[in-house]
Structure 1
């Protein structure tokens, strides 16, 4: 997951950014120009899970309007120094998803972001069960047949995108864009196949049934499902 942070007083959020980076979140600080000329990458397929954190500024309402008017559906969380019921109500009505008041901790920001994302994909609970597999949306590694499977950072990112879209066919391009997006460190496109292969081996080795759970739908992409589930194409 990547988070875009607009905070004119960056020294005020050193602790927050340290906690988020420790949780494996890629952070990118943005300026005022981002809301006028930098929203393009957020509108690309697979980028809906990248959150936007808005710190204190004079035109925070204008920034929220710019995001939503452009069609951006990403989680937008406002970081405030003090609680104000009317201000919070106004920001939520404009299109913010949440308002967090200082002191702000990385764990709270991440939990609230994960909650917004999973509801966006139609998941009310913190996890989804697919056969013997339990996939979590809060950063925990999956459990297969009662055993927790340790995933690397990139493996988890690929797996989470499949889990959010469980029982749906997701193209390799959509997975690639969701993981790497506009990152300057973009590897060759076959890297998704490599991660899929690693995930299949780990899931199959832990599963009592030996099921790999990630199915290749030729010509269309991949699907996370158990053998008895039907296919939905997106």
Structure 2
């Protein structure tokens, strides 16, 4: 769950990991390649296409827009949070 501006948004596991990483590198830019490494660091037999990062960003944006948190595209570089202060990331116990 992400908390910002007195509101909250519930994200999927992959979206949450991606937004968490964006918050950790804030205010710097997170490249797609770095995002892929972060999400799939354990590896596996089949590595997903890098376009999956765009899909996760798109879905997270829709949810975060509702609470006033924006993810900007930095063309040719990657993504960055566009906020004045980091949102609070609350990890829920499974």
Same fold (TM over 0.5): yes
What RMSD, in angstroms, separates the aligned Cα atoms of the two structures? 1.5
Larger Rg: 1
Give the C-alpha shift of residue 182 in structure 1: 4.4
CA distance in 2, matches of 1:219, 1:142: 27
2:56 is matched with: 195
Give deviations 1:135-183, integer Å, cap 9, x for gaps. xxxxxx2112212211111111111110101110111100111110242
How big is each residue's C-alpha offset from its partner over 1:22-56, in whole Å with a ceiling of 9 and x where there is no partner?
xxxxxxxxxxxxxxxxxxxxxxxxxxxxxxxxxxx
Is residue 2:81 matched to residue 1:220? no
Distance 1:205 1:149 in 2: 8
Residue 196 of structure 1, CA deviation: 0.5
* TM-score normalised by structure 2 residue count: 0.79
Alignment partners' CA distance in 2, 1:157 and 1:186: 17
> Is 1:150 aligned with 2:10?
yes
**In the aligned structure 2, how far is the partner of 1:226 from the partner of 1:151?**
18
The normalised TM-score by structure 1 is 0.34
Unaligned runs of 5+ in 1: 1-140, 228-234
